[in-house]
Structure 1
Amino acid sequence: MTSPLSSSPAWKALLAHRDALAGATAADHWQASPERGAAFTFPCAGLVVDFSKQPVAPETLALLCALARERQVPESIEKLFTGEPVNVTEGRPALHMALRGDEHAKVDGVDIRVEIQREREHFRAFVEAVRDGRWKGATGKAISAVVAIGIGGSASGPQLVLRALAPDHEGPQVRFAANIDPAELDQALAGLDPATTLLVVVSKTFTTEETMANALAARAWLEAALGPAALAHHVVAATSRPDRAIAWGLPECNVFGFAEWIGGRFSLWSSAGMPIALGLGMAAFDHLLAGAHAADLEFRSTPLERNVPALMALIGLWNRDALGAPHHVMLPYAARLEGLVLYLQQLEMESNGKRVTTTGEPLDRPTVPAIWGAPGTTGQHSFHQWLHQGTEAFACDFIVVAKAMGSDPDRHARLLAHALAQSEAFMDGLDVPDAHKACPGGRATTTIVLPSLDAMHLGALIALYEHKVYAQACLWGINAFDQFGVELGKTLAGRILPAVRGENAALTPATHHLLGIIHKLAQSD
């Protein structure tokens, strides 16, 4: 539904309810109902999600679910899974879920299951050949290092998974080059032997400027050591435009396709996830898919009142638009989940950082809050001071792993104690006479508990946030699957680049001034 949120009867009822609550906090709700925990805690795909420290009452959830039905969220979920063109501005479906289950779906009347299976078997055969040494480099040596070249979701998704599941990594080492800053590729290639290195170039269009510039530089590095014929032994591509990869010089068998209906920030489940499979193996990759599929099934079939991704979306909307919280802070209490914040920044802010509805009408309410954060306990020694005593409203998600992730159960117990302490402090605060030491509390938090940090539960966690994003887009009436704002900067950079190189180019006065400063400092001793 694309009508303005402010004109919605269900939204008006929610605002009246907010006013009637008169600023009641989660602590107030707990005091009124000591059994609140069970009523606001829900399982999903092996995870457990506790909403009991959110400033919501049972009536709040009921009204939020009524809003979701008025905004046709259940119908929109079904449209997502049945392949309707939910990416309305580009006329495409968004069927990344089809990559991780066995359900049939059609695009333009064609069942896509056969194509998915064909690509997956091509992918599987290559991964296994590299990992067991049957795939040889140009000199006959096996591959021992992989350099993944891609940016955005093509990099952040695989990086998140490989870091999170690092103890399971027993394949070739995997390095990443995402930034066009030449220092990043230099560092990724440093110390590697071209004869035992595989380059994996990931670009949906195979025209992404940063990726293709880095790919050309890495190709030159390979060919300088091994000659042009080495390309077929040392470079593969994941792309929705195999024709461009082949024109670039790759054999057809080195190109692993994925469909146009898979967005970059939803692509780790496709051949874009090849760095994951190469590093961890196909069994781990399959478990990652299975965990995500379990979350898919729950999102599609569970009533809104118990549907965890939908509830995350609804409570997020409540915090953002009813309570005015412009920040959402991610607090994973697991060092190996350090990549989650960057991944979710793109997933949420690129998807829902929009200012018009799907029909192009200006929005009358804010959309996605700023997503940021860091792993605990590290963040406690940087920005938690702001969280406890700052003046800005925010909501946050704690992500906690029940089973120890390292060699020392005692330190894991300390980690859990800190997570629980922060959660309690955000809700209850500290009421003391000394104003410098007082903490107001009343902060809105959700806690997601994983039994263990493994491929299955990580897949479920990622999919849970994917579905939250889509549900929120439906509530706001926006398209979660385009990113035209990203394109503006690319276009301007193409116009400015000749001037940076010292050539004539038309620049705005402000850009001409700033480039002059840069050129002057670049030439100084």
Structure 2
Amino acid sequence: MIPFSRSPAWLQLLAHRDALGGKTARELWRADPARGAKLTVGCAELALDFSKQPVSEETLASLCALARERGLPEAIAALFSGAPVNTTERRAALHMALRGDEHTTVGGVDVLPEIQRGRERMRMFSQAVREGHWKGATGAPVRHVVGLGIGGSSLGPKLAAKALHAIADGPQAHFIENLDPAEFDDTVGRLDPAATLFVIASKTFTTEETMANAASARAWIERSLGPGAVDRHFVAATASPERATAWGLAACNVFPFPEWVGGRFSLWSEVGLPVAIAVGMTAFDRLLAGAHAVDLEFRSKPLERNAPVLLALLSVWNRNALGCASHVVLPYAARLTGLTPYVQALEMESNGKRVDRDGTLLDFATAPAVFGGEGTPGQHAFHQWLHQGTDAVSSDFIVVARPMGSDADRHARLVAHAAAQSEALMNGVETPEPWRSCPGGRASTTIVMPALDPFHLGSLLALYEHKVFAEGALWGINSFDQWGVELGKKIAGSILPAARGEGTAPDAATAHLLSVIHKLAQSG
């Protein structure tokens, strides 16, 4: 395939950009007051308002032509067929199968029966814990479930548990992901070991941070309840069940998931067990259903009205045509505090790549830096930079239509602030005092959820998943590997003896840094 930066459709888009002459969304609105309806699309009951993006109908038509030239429809079909789209690891990326009921084959094997067995085991176990039938070693019911994972094995479940807190009626969910022992101590220090269940989530069951926390958790349980208590206080979600049993878990305490489920996409698998325990499997099924509804639309809708595809195309437009090196995720919902880091990992770990699928060095930019945080606190932190900073930036606002609390007026205030921020980013303001002026012309999309409930949360997360895949397909990169993550892990292993004071680091600069750290550690 011709490289992205030299493809005819992309070159045509650059010419179109130049012809637009830097027209902003504000100017486009003035030219076409009906553009709002034209540039708002639905997806699984979500509404996406693209009208504050600096694009015309001609821009969108040209972007869709780019998608066809880059083979995006064929890439979507390959993704859902179980083809090995993760080319460097020769694996399928079929996490979508976890939330539907279609028959799909991987390596010639129908995976639906395996998925259904896993889901039924989750249902039975979560129900047993919630109803008090699964008890701890002393006979006490479980009141706390602690997820031990990192990256996708923690970000997704942690996000969902917080987002769905209003309907959580089971054991309270907690998550420990940091290697820093302070996080472990601060979490378990508030818990009763007799009423605590740990869920170890690791695809390989070798992830350093997760296994270190699991070892600390086992020691904490054994000190309080004795060595025989492990089987009543630990279960595991993993693609390596033999390692989990070697660690000391009974086979019935291990919830396997398939190798073709990547960490960033593992919420939908047995890794979501803490969420199912906290909110119930019926709610978890609704989470899956919302995601599945987006899957169906991503597969079937024409590109021109396909919400994940349009998100991806506008991202590419902002990144590669308009030079937006940063993208900001702004959920106006306190319970969506975990959304920004989730999208950050999804985008930057998937598409933070510098070579294409053939290993050829790219001559264009890929994933932007993603950051943000929930409104309205973010307005008093980094929004100043959004409005008056010197860098081009694009934004996603996420707004929940129905009140999330008991005070409808405060919810109306929240909605007003979200609408005001997107308007201010688009229009800006000119004043005689230059320090008060804001240039405007900042691109944004607003995603409106009818309610913050399991179905629409599932829809929102799947929307972002498919956006990121479509971006990678347009750029010609593999969105499913993460070799950059592996480098630091490997180096850390070689440094560890020196960090313990048992030798010298192999690199002079690192040896110097460790000497500084050790001196300060001893100075107290």
TM bucket normalised to smaller: over 0.9
- The CA distance in 1 between the partners of 2:354 and 2:183, in whole Å, is 34
- The CA distance in 2 between the partners of 1:446 and 1:476, in whole Å, is 21
Q: Deviations over 1:93-131 (max 9, x none)?
A: 000000000111100000000110111111111111000
| Pairing 1:11-410 to 2, within 5 Å after superposition | 11-410=10-409
- 2:494 maps to 495
Q: Is 2:43–2:294's contact at 8 Å kept on the other side of the alignment? A: yes
Q: Segments of 4+ in structure 1 off by > 6 A?
A: none
- The CA distance in 1 between the partners of 2:429 and 2:194, in whole Å, is 61
- The CA distance in 2 between the partners of 1:421 and 1:192, in whole Å, is 42
Q: Is 1:142–1:196's contact at 8 Å kept on the other side of the alignment? A: yes
Structure 2 residues not aligned, in runs of 5+? none
How far apart are 1:505 and its partner, in Å?
A: 3.8
| Pairing 1:468-483 to 2, within 5 Å after superposition | 468-483=467-482
Q: Deviations over 1:336-370 (max 9, x none)?
A: 11110011110000000000001100111100100
- The CA distance in 1 between the partners of 2:222 and 2:269, in whole Å, is 28
Q: Secondary structure at the match of 1:438?
A: coil
Matched, 1:439 2:438: yes
- The CA distance in 1 between the partners of 2:432 and 2:89, in whole Å, is 58
- The CA distance in 1 between the partners of 2:373 and 2:117, in whole Å, is 39
Q: Deviations over 1:34-75 (max 9, x none)?
A: 100011000000000000000000010000000000000000
Amino acid at match of 2:488: G
Aligned length: 524
- The CA distance in 1 between the partners of 2:187 and 2:153, in whole Å, is 16
How far apart are 1:506 and its partner, in Å?
A: 4.1
Q: Secondary structure at the match of 1:138?
A: coil
Q: Secondary structure at the match of 2:494?
A: helix
Q: Is 2:504–2:511's contact at 8 Å kept on the other side of the alignment? A: no
- The CA distance in 2 between the partners of 1:106 and 1:94, in whole Å, is 12
Q: Is 1:495–1:505's contact at 8 Å kept on the other side of the alignment? A: no
Q: Secondary structure at the match of 1:499?
A: helix
Amino acid at match of 1:12: L
- The CA distance in 1 between the partners of 2:3 and 2:56, in whole Å, is 25
How far apart are 1:515 and its partner, in Å?
A: 0.5
Q: Secondary structure at the match of 2:348?
A: helix
Q: Is 1:399–1:449's contact at 8 Å kept on the other side of the alignment? A: yes
Q: Is 2:159–2:342's contact at 8 Å kept on the other side of the alignment? A: yes
- The CA distance in 2 between the partners of 1:106 and 1:386, in whole Å, is 48
Q: Is 1:198–1:234's contact at 8 Å kept on the other side of the alignment? A: yes
- The CA distance in 2 between the partners of 1:56 and 1:295, in whole Å, is 24
Q: Is 1:294–1:460's contact at 8 Å kept on the other side of the alignment? A: yes
Q: Deviations over 1:376-422 (max 9, x none)?
A: 11111111111111110000000001111111000001111111111
TM-score scaled by length of structure 1: 0.99
| Pairing 1:484-523 to 2, within 5 Å after superposition | 484-523=483-522
- The CA distance in 1 between the partners of 2:124 and 2:503, in whole Å, is 50
- 1:449 maps to 448
Q: Is 2:298–2:466's contact at 8 Å kept on the other side of the alignment? A: yes
Structure 1 residues not aligned, in runs of 5+? none
Amino acid at match of 1:401: V
- The CA distance in 2 between the partners of 1:235 and 1:268, in whole Å, is 19
Q: Secondary structure at the match of 2:136?
A: coil
Q: Is 1:81–1:97's contact at 8 Å kept on the other side of the alignment? A: yes
Q: Secondary structure at the match of 2:432?
A: coil
Q: Deviations over 1:189-228 (max 9, x none)?
A: 1132211111110000000000001101100111111111
Q: Deviations over 1:468-522 (max 9, x none)?
A: 0000000000001000000000000000000011112442111011100000000
Q: Secondary structure at the match of 2:156?
A: helix
Amino acid at match of 1:465: Y
Tell me the percent identity.
Answer: 65
Q: Deviations over 1:414-453 (max 9, x none)?
A: 1111111111111111022221111100000000000111
Matched, 1:10 2:28: no
- The CA distance in 1 between the partners of 2:191 and 2:396, in whole Å, is 39
TM-score scaled by length of structure 2: 0.99
Amino acid at match of 2:143: S
Amino acid at match of 1:471: A
- The CA distance in 1 between the partners of 2:173 and 2:5, in whole Å, is 49
- The CA distance in 1 between the partners of 2:423 and 2:387, in whole Å, is 11
Q: Secondary structure at the match of 2:429?
A: coil
